Amino acid sequence: MSNPSTSIAAELFRQAAAQGRGTLDAAEVTSLLGSLGLALDAQAAAGAVDIRISLNSTREFGMVVSAGLGGLEAELDEGNYRRDRASVYAAAALTDADDFLELFRRTLAYQKLAAVARRAGAAAPDAALKACFAQLLVLAKDFAPDNPAAPFVLQSLELNPVQVGAGITVRAAECAFGAPQPGRLPRPVGKIDKLIHPKRIGIIGVSGTGMNFGRIILRNLMGSGYPKEQLLVLKPGEAEIDGVKCVEGLKALDGKLDLLIVAVAASAVYELVDEIIESDAVDAVMLIPGSLGETKKSREPAAALAARINAAHGKPGGGPIFLGANCLGVVSHPGAYDSWFIPLERLPKPKKKPVRDSVMLSQSGAFMITRLSQNPWLDPAYMLALGNQTDLTHGDMLGYFAGLPGIETLGIYIEGFKDLDGLQFAKAVRKAVLNGKQIVVYKSGKTAPGQGGVMGHTASIAGGLTLFESVVRHAGAIVAEDFNTFDDLFYIAGALQHKKVGGRRIGAISGAGFEAVGMADSIESDSFALEMGALEDATVKKIEEILVAKKLDQLVEVRNPLDINPGADDEAHLQITEAFLQDPNIDAVVVGLDPTAPAVCALEESKLRPGHDIASPKSTVNLMPPLVERNDKPVIGIVDGGKLYDAMTAGLMDRGVCVFRNCARGTKALVRYVEARLNAESLQRRRPGGTDF
């Protein structure tokens, strides 16, 4: 080991392990800290600020570095603080000293250190902190659980409290280590292409007489346009079902299947999987059955099954890949197939987009069904249910799509990670963001009862939410707090992907006073804030001219946010919107489209004023799409009204306008989106932690 601190740490670990210990004693900790350039002194300095710096080997994310408030304050519940105020976390593999120092600057701990330094007339503590972080990150990476060359795994190094001046003084420290544990073999993820673009599909478990899951899947495959001649049913004693040729089983295949869909009873899966592996007749397998590993009785045999699948990946060619079990299936528009076992009549999937460029990945199939049913404009190119990740994991799937051309936005629902797959997932997030893609994530299991529900659903363990959110957000993802926020962020990310996000200054316009104020009241989140842009004099003059032409000049004072009066028609709303967009001090616009205002063409059909409806050439539905297209800044329309205005909303969304039905939700989504875009641009410029994923 070329690094001196690494060599010293390794020798200390060997000595302790030889004595049957998994922790370092006080003298050994002192030696370890000395090798890192850190002094251990238990005496408190008067008026000093206590901070905490830690390295921890986590089950999901491997080695994580964290820092924040120390001493007594470190014991306070992080729920008492806003995001990033108490502590910050990052996967050691995705950060460096400069990057982590930038994260730490967000905390109260750093701000206290900086304030004390200013009072003393001293320099900010950045140099000492950066040097400390750099040394700890070397140690973290050399003794990480995912490092195959590591002789030991550093399980934890807790420095608390720590005092920072010209140097770093550690008042107390603890260190634990352990032996490396074998991990799973890498899955041959290139075969995911066979899963989502299969040229030949087989199904096993199709009833010849009833409408079971297998039969529904067969009908859905044909109903979604997959060619019958490329389908096979594995069914002994049958010649054909629904016009699809049947064969006796795997041994009767005349060539290899790209995809085999398994819809048999869970009890039959174990023997069938062994046959699939031995026959090498299939590249990708979709395991539909539930209960594998989800009940106490099934956990041991399910674990043995996963081990046999893992062992097969060590064979030449990597063996087959398995999606599921407890898997709803896959919808692949580019692959021209739908294998969900939901009848098409219960979930119509209208073609809303001429170009599909998004993906939805979810452990829960019902999560995707509900999202799509309520929000058909999401309309992803691919939707894959991962189930309980017997084989393919979140990290595998995102790693594949992170490099797939034509995919720009991914929405992901997570219940839990396999060991160290959180790290692979975070690396895939970073890879995707550096490739210009957008990642929106929701993780379930926020409470103890919620985690219990996860275990009963897909046999996953949901880790600590603060750790998850911090690490994944630092990697570059947009993390949603709830289902509505997920829908909003996934939608806005897809709608605004090609718009320029030049900064955080917005313009807010509405004919409803409450709405203009509501937009202004919604421009802050826990970790980021937009600001109301100051309109240039030329913009004010232009808007005043519009108001004069519309006879509204005596009723409206030009400002931002702007209440343009309920008497404003469609044209007034959009002319003022464009004036805002052309102002160099405005980076994005949120405009209330005031559907209930009498002057606005918002109804599908007006009985009081025939022709004054959304079909009119002067309606917002017809005027706004070209306005959005010719301007490269983000525009969000707000249609706050009931079912009467569904047609107006649909007409705009069908033509690519980003529309929300509530000003607060729309503005809050924009806040989160702008924060993520600016963060992504920063990552693309700086590329912290390297780019070898």
Residue 491 belongs to what H/E stretch?
Answer: helix 483-496
- Residue pair 283/190 in contact (Cβ under 8 Å)? The answer is no
The answer for residues whose C-beta is within 8 angstroms of residue 612's C-beta and 6 or more apart is 601, 603, 606
- Does 499-680 match 189-495 at the fold level? yes
Q: DSSP of 568-587, one letter per residue?
A: --HHHHHHHHHHHHTSTT-S
d(CA 253, CA 317): 19
Give residue limits of the domains in the chain: 4-178, 189-495, 499-680
Q: Assign a CATH topology to domain 189-495.
A: Rossmann fold (3.40.50)
Could you tell me which of 203, 307, 305, 215 has the C-alpha nearest to residue 258? Answer: 203
Q: What is the 3-state secondary structure (H, E, C) of 113-170?
A: HHHHHHHCCCCCCHHHHHHHHHHHHHHHHHCCCCCCCCCCEEEEEEEEEEEECCCEEE
Cα-based distances in Å from 507 to 155, 171, 562, 620, 658: 50, 51, 8, 19, 16
**Helix-helix angle 513-520:663-686, to 10 degrees:** 30
**Residue 480 tokens, joined:** 């949603």
Percent of the chain with pLDDT over 90: 81
pLDDT of residue 243: 96
d(CA 612, CA 619): 8
**Helix-helix angle 483-496:365-374, to 10 degrees:** 60
Residue 562 belongs to what H/E stretch?
Answer: strand 562-563
Residue at token pair 């692979």: 424
Tens-digit pLDDT profile for residues 23-66: 999 999 999 999 999 989 887 676 688 999 999 999 999 999 99
**Residue 43 tokens, joined:** 């005496």
Q: DSSP of 275-313, one letter per residue?
A: HHHHHT-EEEEEE----TTTSHHHHHHHHHHHHHHHHHT
601: left (phi over 0), alpha (psi -120 to 50) or beta: beta
C-alpha dihedral (132, 138, 140, 142), degrees to nearest 10: -160
pLDDT of residue 691: 53
Sign of CA dihedral 265, 266, 272, 276: positive
pLDDT of residue 339: 93
Residue 505 belongs to what H/E stretch?
Answer: strand 505-510
d(CA 373, CA 644): 20
CATH 3.40.50.720 fits 499-680, yes or no: no
The answer for residues whose C-beta is within 8 angstroms of residue 24's C-beta and 6 or more apart is 12, 13, 16, 32, 175, 176, 177
Q: Which residues of the chain have pLDDT under 50?
A: 449-463
Cα-based distances in Å from 566 to 212, 509, 516, 602: 56, 12, 12, 13
255: left (phi over 0), alpha (psi -120 to 50) or beta: left
Percent of the chain with pLDDT over 70: 94
- Residue pair 561/589 in contact (Cβ under 8 Å)? The answer is no
- Residue pair 55/63 in contact (Cβ under 8 Å)? The answer is yes
Tell me the H-state helices in 582-656. 620-630, 646-654
Q: Which residue type is seen at 280?
A: D
Determine how many CB atoms are found less than 10 A away from the CB of residue 32. Answer: 23
pLDDT of residue 455: 41
Strand pairing partners for 231?
Answer: 201
Strand pairing partners for 410?
Answer: 359, 439
- Residue pair 173/157 in contact (Cβ under 8 Å)? The answer is yes
pLDDT of residue 354: 62
Query: Which CATH architecture is the domain 4-178 placed in?
Result: 2-Layer Sandwich (3.30)
**Residue 24 tokens, joined:** 């370092």
